[in-house]
A and B are shown apart, each in its own frame.
Chain A
């Protein structure tokens, strides 16, 4: 059974950096890109970027370029999303997700989400 289990909630001050993990199981970790999605309170979903665990290649959304870093550790079957220079607007639930259908253009497995609160 495919599972993505994320790390727990975080509280950070403005300007700080947060790093969230996503532990994968039930499939070959290097087989699918891992994506990260942001959802601010009461708002919609926003794609942050993805990593190819096979070679570490990353692609980021323009909006987050320069502030987000996504990595994958194949020895731990775990992906990470680091967001720096945090501001109040970054308060959100962050999901990791993979797409296992042919081509992987969608997201059919999701982590449970990690709440990040940015507050002074």
Chain B
């Protein structure tokens, strides 16, 4: 099972919107609507930001949204804030109870 492909880094100015892509295959991202996104600050455990492609857990800002087209899922962060600077990982269900993560994207707020 190969890791999902994410850009290594994405940056934006405060108030702007950014999009992080996550490309898999027709066996994971393209087949299942079970893509989730995690935010991780240095030295901390990951935090769930989006699940089932586009659902937002209680307590997560509505500036975070998710979508999917074909084998590629996307995380959109609107109205970028300094606190959004972190690493972001996508994860997809890949069948038979397995999961696969993306390589991670470092988001920098300029």
Contacts and interface: CB of A to CB of B under 8 A. Distances in A.
Contact of B101 (A46, A105, A111, A113): A46
Nearest to B48: A108
A2 interface: no
A61 to B, nearest CB: 7
Contact of A110 (B45, B57, B104): B45
Given A45-B38, A61-B1, A62-B1, A106 B48 contact: yes
Interface residues of B, number: 27
B101 A107 contact: no
Q: How large is the interface on A (under 10, 10 to 19, 20 to 34, 35 or more residues)?
A: 20 to 34
A45 B97 contact: no
A32 interface: no
Given A45-B46, A110-B45, A103 B34 contact: yes
A101 B93 CA distance: 14
Residue among B36, B48, B57, B97 with the most chain A CB within 10 A?
B97
Contacts of A50: 97
Interface string A3-34: 00000000000000000000000000000010
Nearest to B45: A110
Contacts of B103: 44
Contacts of A107: 36, 38, 46, 48, 91
Contact of B51 (A33, A44, A62, A106): A106
B97 A59 contact: yes
Nearest to B6: A44
B1 A110 contact: no
A105 B36 CA distance: 8
A43 B103 CA distance: 8
Nearest to A50: B97
Given A37-B101, A108-B51, A112-B45, 12 more contacts: A44-B3, A44-B102, A45-B40, A47-B100, A50-B97, A59-B96, A59-B97, A95-B46, A101-B57, A106-B36, A106-B48, A107-B48
Contacts of B85: none
